[in-house]
Structure 1
Amino acid sequence: MTTLLRPWRALACVAAIAAALVVAFVMAPAALAGTAATSDLRGESRLIGAFRNAFVGYWSSGNADFGSELQRVVDYWFRYHVAKAVLSGALLVVLIVLGVLSWQAFLRVGGLRAAALAVSGVLATALAVVSLAAVMANIHGMAAPFGSLLPMLFGSPSVGSLPDTLAQIRQQLVDGQNSPALGPILDDYVKFHAVMAVEGTIVVILLVVVSVLLWRGFTRTDRAERRSRRVLAAYGVFIPLLALVLAVIVVANATTAAHPLPGLESFFAGGW
């Protein structure tokens, strides 16, 4: 009896850790990134308002230097992405462990237990894919925190000088101007997409390696072990498809990084 309970206890423990990390991923980053000087940035509406005001001031200065107010927001956003990246990375590892444990236990039992473990394995896989996306998003958010803030210029109704500021940026892009204030915008836009292309390439390579190992395991597994072969085959199909989707995203980001102006023009025209 004790031997039978051990896998379930391990699964319950790992699932509890995953649940705690999900809560932490949602709740903790703002607190972890915050300081006494950035307490007013906690909360989406406050952050957006502070960034928009700081951005207008930055653009009005005409200088490439962010200035103290915008730099404060950018630094906070960098720390926020660091916290998110660490938590989502930890969650990804835990979910992979949960998936492996679920499928290993699935191979040893039958009936309703097997069905429950299959659901656990599929759910862990789906959440692992989401966590992987979160890790990648926060890595390029860390690399280009200013660029990852730019979407906050759009969305809710713009007030004050922001519409005029955005109109000036659009006009400079159309006219091919390159003012000092526009330089960091273009640089971070390129960096944002370039980092995504690089990290995406690394992940695609890793997924291809995992796919090869899965199919090698499939061919070496005895035909009598049907359940094992089905699990290996399912992941052997799913992971290459995931790699293919990611490869398309890599190409799109690499193209944007190599030729950023059309994408940046579209972005400031409301094409985000």
Structure 2
Amino acid sequence: MSSTAIRSRSAGVSGHLVVALVALAVVLGFALVIAPRTLAANDSADFSDENALREAFRKAFAEYWASGSGDFPASLQHTVDYWFRYHIAKAVIAALLLIVLAALAVLLWKAFLRAGGLGAGVNAALATAGTFVTLLAVFALLTVMANIQGIASPFASLLPMLPVGDYGGAYAGIIGQIRRALAGSETTPALRVMIDDFGRYHVAMAVIAGTVAVIFAVAGALCLRAFARTAKSERRTRRVLATFGALAILSTATTITLAVVNTATAADSAPALAAFFNGGW
């Protein structure tokens, strides 16, 4: 039996399970980048890359704004529908990746707690791997959050593709008209749809962030309770529990702040939309 296998077994790590989870995480990571565009495409909307999507949205948006109507023209509806499907695909893949990374992180940190007698090298490797996978899991969580927000309001999530900072570009006249309309007292049907959708976009993130804040708060409380119940002789376990408890509390505060900011924006979305079109968002 190899020394690596002996160390893995002594640390309570199933080498086959670790390899399987790592392989699955790699596959899902590639899928997260590649698959959503393919899954979202259909006969009405199939964009070769982000530049093609951006250009199609800009042209469709110009048509929409010129119409003055609150109803999307077919070109814009196809683009928004594509973006909706894209976010669904990406959210599902990111959620699966989050589950895999969370399972792998738990496995690695449990192994770290059991590896006290296996030497500094093994301990450092497990701690480094556990930290790296945990950070990847946080990234996957943020990806899930962002894409759920995109599902809730795909039109508003497309707005950053407009050239709001390109004052001399082909769309400068349209952007200028929108700025003036937002600064005035009259609201066209098209502008009302934009304001409402922009508000819905921020409501979605407020709800998402609030939900995640509750999860972090519960996780932090569980970690700190486990810390309090762990014998002082178990220093390694207490350090890990205290660290994760503190990080969970910090994450709770961060997500609560995110929820509050988005709630405030949603409550009065017109000024926030004006700030966006003036390059301040």
Q: State if a TM-score over 0.5 links the two structures.
A: yes
* 1:202 pairs with one of 196, 208, 211: 211
Does residue 59 of the first structure (1) align with residue 68 of the second (2)? no
Aligned to 1:29: 36
Aligned to 2:15: 8
**Aligned partner of 1:14: which letter?**
L
User: Partner of 1:64: helix, strand, or coil?
Assistant: coil
The Cα shift of 1:65 comes to 0.6
**Aligned partner of 2:131: which letter?**
V
Does residue 83 of the first structure (1) align with residue 92 of the second (2)? no
CA contact (8 A) 1:215 1:232 kept: yes
**Aligned partner of 1:37: which letter?**
S
**Aligned partner of 1:219: which letter?**
A
Give the TM-score normalised by the residue count of structure 1. 0.95
**Aligned partner of 2:30: which letter?**
V
The whole-number CA distance in structure 2 between the counterparts of 1:71 and 1:42 is 18
User: Partner of 1:181: helix, strand, or coil?
Assistant: helix
Mapping for residues 150-161 of structure 1, pairs under 5 Å: 150-154=159-163, 157=166, 159-160=169-170
Count, aligned residues: 270
Does residue 46 of the first structure (1) align with residue 52 of the second (2)? yes
Mapping for residues 159-174 of structure 1, pairs under 5 Å: 159-160=169-170, 162-174=171-183
The Cα shift of 1:156 comes to 7.8
The whole-number CA distance in structure 2 between the counterparts of 1:174 and 1:262 is 9
User: Partner of 1:271: helix, strand, or coil?
Assistant: coil
* 1:101 pairs with one of 87, 104, 107: 107
Larger helix proportion of the pair: 1
* 1:115 pairs with one of 124, 134, 139: 124
Structure 2 unaligned runs (5+)?
none
RMSD: 1.5
CA contact (8 A) 2:227 2:242 kept: yes
CA contact (8 A) 1:18 1:91 kept: yes
**Aligned partner of 2:110: which letter?**
Q
The whole-number CA distance in structure 2 between the counterparts of 1:25 and 1:103 is 25
CA contact (8 A) 1:7 1:105 kept: no
* 2:223 pairs with one of 214, 235, 246: 214
Percentage of matched positions with identical amino acids = 43
Cα distance per residue 1:171-201 (max 9 Å; x no partner): 1110022101111101110000001001110
**Aligned partner of 1:203: which letter?**
V
The whole-number CA distance in structure 1 between the counterparts of 2:163 and 2:68 is 21
Cα distance per residue 1:87-108 (max 9 Å; x no partner): 1111111111011000111122
